[in-house]
Amino acid sequence: MAEESEVRERLKTLREAIELHNYRYYVLDNPLIPDAEYDRLFRELIELEEKHPELAIPDSPTRRVGGKVLDAFEPVKHAVPMLSIRTETDDDGAALFDARVRRELGIDAEIEYACELKFDGLAINLRYEQGILVQAATRGDGEVGEDVTQNVRTIHAIPLHLANCPGGVLEVRGEVYMGRRDFERYNARQREKGLPTLVNPRNGAAGSIRQLDPQLAAKRPLSFFAYGLGEVRGWALPKTHSGVLDALASMGIPVSDVREVTRGAEGLKAFHRRVAKLRDSLPFDIDGVVYKVNSLALQDELGFLTREPRWAVAHKYPAEEQMTLLNDIEVQVGRTGKLTPVAKLEPVFVGGTTVSNATLHNLFELRRKGVRIGDKVIVRRAGDVIPEVAGRVRDDSAAYRHNFLMPKHCPVCGSKVVREKGSIEHRCTGGLFCAAQRKQALLHFASRRAMDIDGLGEKLVDQLVDTGVVRTPADLYKLKQEDLACLDRMGEKSAQNLLSAIESSKNRALSRFIFSLGIRHVGESTAKDLARHFGSLEALKAASSVEEKLIEVPDIGPVVAHSIINFFNEHHNIEVINELLKEGVRPDAGAIEKGAASRIEGKTFVLTGTLSRFTRDEAKEMIEALGGKVTGSVSTKTDFVVVGENPGSKHDKALALGVNVLDEAEFAQLVSEGV
């Protein structure tokens, strides 16, 4: 057995390394090592602590979750009261604040301000003594809060030890929040299981912090940003608020990068405008910005007015949640026949746009929320996410309330609606007989990553299907100039462009062709696997009735195999494929290579996270060698976002905008196909 001193040394090294990696991962969003390596260190620490229980310490990173289930939270009297803040909502909020501050101080010159975000979460006071986190408390009524230390310890972004800490007492104040992506993921998982969802990330954060079982609290991913101080003893304060935040950041406490020191009302307004533009792409909710007089001496001079400091103000943005009337519920039919209840709302301005439709996801969720037609509901639109009905407002004065029933027959084609056993989704059984599914199938067939028919958008597909000119993808290849001439807003030139786009789609790679068929569970990467494995459409067709042959393909299991079998079993699907071939569509295996090269050529890539097989520069070089371009930020013009380990907000943005996301393996595949 190793010497005790050696074990001690190793424990210390491991704990320090893990704390450093926690910080790089959760606070800086810039990890140094892959997850697997972190897990290895963590396991080694757990094992070593188990072997040497006498050397375990309460502040080890392995002890973030470990507390008991509580009966209630203990009250905590705040050493320094946790105050509230004055709020401005009008455009001239910045100017009003600046004028007030200068009047109070009797200063004519421009004042220096610290500007930051107003995070939408839950206020928390973290108390560090000698650099160790000893207590975390909610705000409560401002004088007395609740001791939520156990739960707060489970938040990885909050350090249990401060780096470069001067000692003494340091209370850090800030906001615990749940990121948008974590919120969406949590809700999607709950919805899949038919379990209750969270109304918004703020409730998610507040609910987990006030959860009596720390094991449950640890399951909801929370984070933290500091914005100020409580009691401080034994530390010489910096002279400014921005200096305080810099100092906290250097101790390992998360401080948002989106902050600025500016001067005068104009500086405040510019910050307000900058953040308004940024708001949708932030990975967390904010409800405004906060302006603070930067000099702590001037803050002292200004003091407080009852419970609000005179030196700070919150300037709000339009709310991301609004109340409105639910006029009706309609049902939308998707490509695979899934029926989605959609709320028809009294138009309402929310999250910066006017919303009149919002998703209700599925019947189960609608029931759980107790939503009925005629109700007052809460609509949420945050970031680039589709607006949704978050819940209903209990209001017994509603003039009428109708229960919504899922139709028994498809509202578009009249086919029977079914719900498979164990599924929470209702589906139309009409398949391609259903105009809604047909439209979606055509749009999918023509989409950029499938057959890439430029110019065949929603409005055009609506007209082509509604007039009966096009029923199946094969009909697209039969279109003539005169068929298009009679359509709305279709000039001769655009008709010609469309026809030539259709013509040039005939030689797409086999993998794209397979993807374009819209076989359930066959996404882009499965389509590529199939193309590579079978090499030709003929070979795929020949194998398509034999499960054993299909599951030979890497990554294809019984569920996908069955879905392929079902697809090729449908007579009309075979008919459409034969007709496509007859019209001159030539999906060719040889085109895999050609297709891959052209998939990079002219395309715009964004790289995020840590790649393990090559450096960023190498990846960039490869893309450029194949005729692609690498840019720094994600927009609707981005073709691919390549995501390595621990990606940053670019990944969220790609998901929100529906940009194609490739993991490293997929990217490597794409590149190797292209050279």
Point out the residue whose Cβ comes nearest to ligand IVH. Answer: 123
Minimum distance, C-beta of residue 177 to ligand IVH, in the bound complex (Å): 9
List helix spans (H) across 338-467. 363-369, 435-446, 458-466
Q: Which residue has the tokens 């405004």?
A: 288
**Which two structure tokens, joined as six digits, stand for 468?**
């009966």
Active site residue 118: yes
User: What is the number of alpha carbons within 13 Å of residue 75 lying toward its C-beta?
Assistant: 6
In Å, what is the CA distance from 81 to each residue of 153, 290, 373, 543?
22, 19, 45, 72
Query: Do 48 and 7 touch, CB atoms closer than 8 A?
Result: yes
Query: Do 249 and 203 touch, CB atoms closer than 8 A?
Result: no
DSSP 26: I
Query: Do 565 and 547 touch, CB atoms closer than 8 A?
Result: yes
Phi, psi for 392 (deg, rounded to 5): -115, 155
Phi, psi for 541 (deg, rounded to 5): -60, -40
Minimum distance, C-beta of residue 321 to ligand IVH, in the bound complex (Å): 16
Phi, psi for 512 (deg, rounded to 5): -65, -40
Closer CB to ligand IVH, 82 or 670, in the complex: 82
Phi, psi for 477 (deg, rounded to 5): -80, -5
Minimum distance, C-beta of residue 276 to ligand IVH, in the bound complex (Å): 16
Minimum distance, C-beta of residue 309 to ligand IVH, in the bound complex (Å): 5
* Beta carbons within 8 Å of 578's beta carbon, 6+ residues apart: none
Closer CB to ligand IVH, 244 or 446, in the complex: 244
Between CA 78 and CA 82, with CA 80 as vertex, the angle to 5 degrees is 75
Closer CB to ligand IVH, 131 or 318, in the complex: 318
Minimum distance, C-beta of residue 308 to ligand IVH, in the bound complex (Å): 7
| Nearest CA-CA partner of 66 in 85, 49, 91, 90 | 49
Minimum distance, C-beta of residue 85 to ligand IVH, in the bound complex (Å): 3
H or E stretch including 152? helix 149-153
d(CA 603, CA 606): 10
Minimum distance, C-beta of residue 230 to ligand IVH, in the bound complex (Å): 10
Closer CB to ligand IVH, 315 or 512, in the complex: 315
Label the pairing between strands 321-333 and 312-316: unpaired
Minimum distance, C-beta of residue 113 to ligand IVH, in the bound complex (Å): 13
Query: Do 575 and 581 touch, CB atoms closer than 8 A?
Result: no
Closer CB to ligand IVH, 46 or 83, in the complex: 83
d(CA 45, CA 51): 10
d(CA 438, CA 416): 16
Minimum distance, C-beta of residue 149 to ligand IVH, in the bound complex (Å): 18
| Nearest CA-CA partner of 663 in 563, 555, 514 | 555
Phi, psi for 79 (deg, rounded to 5): -65, -40
Closer CB to ligand IVH, 123 or 611, in the complex: 123
d(CA 433, CA 572): 10
Question: In the sheet that 86-88 helps form, which strands lie side by side, from edge to edge?
Answer: 86-88, 312-316, 286-293, 112-119, 260-263
DSSP 110: P
User: Helices (H), strands (E): how many in the chain?
Assistant: 26, 24
Closer CB to ligand IVH, 230 or 383, in the complex: 230
Minimum distance, C-beta of residue 280 to ligand IVH, in the bound complex (Å): 18
Closer CB to ligand IVH, 244 or 442, in the complex: 244
Q: Which residue has the tokens 């498809």?
A: 410
d(CA 175, CA 60): 24
Query: Do 114 and 309 touch, CB atoms closer than 8 A?
Result: no
Minimum distance, C-beta of residue 256 to ligand IVH, in the bound complex (Å): 8
Query: Do 454 and 434 touch, CB atoms closer than 8 A?
Result: no
SS3 label, residue 406 = coil
* Beta carbons within 8 Å of 246's beta carbon, 6+ residues apart: 238, 255
Given 12, 51, 68, 118, which residue is catalytic? Answer: 118
Residue numbers of the site for ligand IVH (CB under 6 A)?
83-85, 116-119, 123, 175, 227-228, 290, 309, 312
In Å, what is the CA distance from 181 to each residue of 123, 218, 227, 350, 383?
21, 17, 23, 20, 10
Closer CB to ligand IVH, 226 or 670, in the complex: 226
Closer CB to ligand IVH, 285 or 388, in the complex: 285
Minimum distance, C-beta of residue 393 to ligand IVH, in the bound complex (Å): 23
Which residues carry out catalysis?
118
